Amino acid sequence: MCPPRSTTTSSPRSASIFPPCTAMSACAKRCWALTRCTSYDVYAPLVGDLKKSYSYETAQEMVLKAVAPLGEDYQATVRKAYAERWIDVYPNRGKRGGAYSGGCYDSNPYILLNFSGTLDSVSTLAHEMGHTIHSWRSRQHQPPQYADYTLFVAEVASTVNENLLIEQLLANENDPQTRLYLLNQYLENFKGTVYRQTMFAEFEREAHAMVERGEALNAAALNALYKRLVTDYFGNDMVIDDEIQYEWARIPHFYRPFYVYKYATGYSTAVALSEGILKEGEPAVKRYKEFLSMGGSAYPLDELRHAGVDLATPAPVDAALEKFERILDDAEATLAKLQ
């Protein structure tokens, strides 16, 4: 799952797999007129927050429109969730923050939101609705012992919905400022999920290998390992500050062994599926909805193969990284219009 490194000094954009922040830092440098780009600069958005607010009713319609490629039966379940009040929408005293989809085999799959009217809130509604429809279809088609899907596939349906939403918005957006905001969110999803989580997974794998080799697992060794990986993944064009070596110590996921790679595999799968749904149409939609109905009745890799994605090959990851490159090209072109 770890992406290959560039072995030349030529532009990393020449191949479909390239260090993300080498290209993204170049974009950031032009946007902010920077002479150097550090590891924290790439977390700054390319454009400020949109001065737009959406009512919850508008958000509902946006999500319905986004999932239209999945067919009327999928939309009908979304409408059912709206009409039957499966969703606790707004923040409230004593209510937990964030957003969640939950429930049990013989209940509706309820959603807890903290809707605030931002575009991020709209995306969160789409995301949680993906979890909810996945749970709903699994419970409708599987007995209790097979109704729960595994963690390996848990973020696929939610991310497919997010991608369908952003693709639908981009297809109908001509304002450069708004378009760059959407593209920036897309790029952040790739950087934070496909690249960063894969880097985390390699750190975790190497730390366990150190123990197996009988090496001391102390702070200095882990600091050195983490800094080397940041340099490998983010490229020499970025200034790597010494402080970055301590970042591993604040990542709680490392206390749940071999968990983080699932973010990267799930996101790559979701990109492949959403691209197939939009380009191939009904055959891809049929396979995808069958996948949503499988719950835990088959091995995760077999379920994803049924949906049309074979993670035993590099093809889905290659396709996701090619998609990343196209989004980055679009962002650079859009940025040029604003300058």
Span 247-278, pLDDT tens digits: 999 998 888 888 899 999 999 999 999 999 99
Instruction: Provide the pLDDT for residue 287.
Output: 97
Distance in angstroms (rounded) separating the CA atoms of residues 148 and 101: 13
pLDDT tens-digit readout, 270-309: 999 999 999 999 999 999 999 999 999 999 999 999 999 9
Residue 252: DSSP 8-state: G
For 29, 98, 208, 230, 322, the CA distances from 233, given in Å and listed in that order, are: 19, 30, 20, 5, 17
Q: Identify whether 204 is a catalytic site residue.
A: no
Per-residue pLDDT tens for 207-221? 999 999 999 999 999
Q: Are 117 and 53 in contact (CB under 8 A)?
A: yes
User: What 3-state class would DSSP assign to 38?
Assistant: strand
- Counted residue by residue, the chain has a size of 339
Question: What residue spans of 172-260 are helical by DSSP H?
Answer: 176-189, 196-212, 219-234
Nearest-angstrom CA–CA distance, 206 and 288? 35
The token pair at 26 is: 């170049």
Tell me the C-alpha to C-alpha distance, in Å, between residue 21 and each of 39, 47, 327, 329: 9, 17, 14, 14
pLDDT at 177 over 70: yes
Q: Residues 327, 190: contact at Cβ < 8 Å?
A: yes
pLDDT tens by residue, 144-163: 999 999 999 999 999 999 99
Given 72, 128, 247, 282, which residue is catalytic?
Answer: 128
* pLDDT at 3 (0 to 100): 35
Residue 338: alpha-carbon gap to chain centroid: 27
Which has the closest alpha carbon to 74: 297, 303, 307, 286? 286
Contact 25, 41 (CB under 8 A): yes
C-alpha closest to that of 154 among 132, 122, 181, 178 = 132
- The rounded mean pLDDT for the chain is 88
